[in-house]
Amino acid sequence: MKHGSDDMPIACRLTNAELREREARLLAQFRSAVIETEELRDGYAFRLPGDRKWVAITAEMIVAERACCPFLTFEFVAQPSMGPIIVRVTGPAGTKDFLKTVLYRPDVSILLPGNSDVDVVRVTSQ
């Protein structure tokens, strides 16, 4: 179920200074924990460790990003038995390009749409 609008602007409400602060702390922590990234039609799914530390950091990141980027939709899944957590971040057209600038980490495995083992691609920064 989507509550947003495809004509909602893809723009962060933070000032440059606020964005640099968030980038240096919270977003950097989130990206450092990403184990795998799955490309979705309208965003990405990020897999992270399921321990208490990463659950708390991820929840803090979602709360912060919802305040400054109202066009984003977040889905949080905690796997059983303290397994990994999965955060799906989606939105209207243009969201994937935006997410590449704030949450995407180019040196982790990407599971492309289709979810077959053949579609797993390892991307590393140059």
CB contact at 8 A, 40 and 113: yes
Find the helix or strand (DSSP H, E) in which 76 lies. Answer: strand 73-78
Residues of the chain with pLDDT under 70: 1-7, 105-126
Q: Spell out the alpha helix ranges (H) of 24-121.
A: 28-33, 52-68, 95-102
pTM: predicted TM-score of the whole model, two decimal places? 0.77
The pLDDT value given to residue 118:
35
| Domain boundary assignment for the chain | 16-122
> How many angstroms separate the CA atoms of 45 and 36, rounded?
8
pLDDT at site 125: 34
What are 28's two structure tokens?
Answer: 């950097």
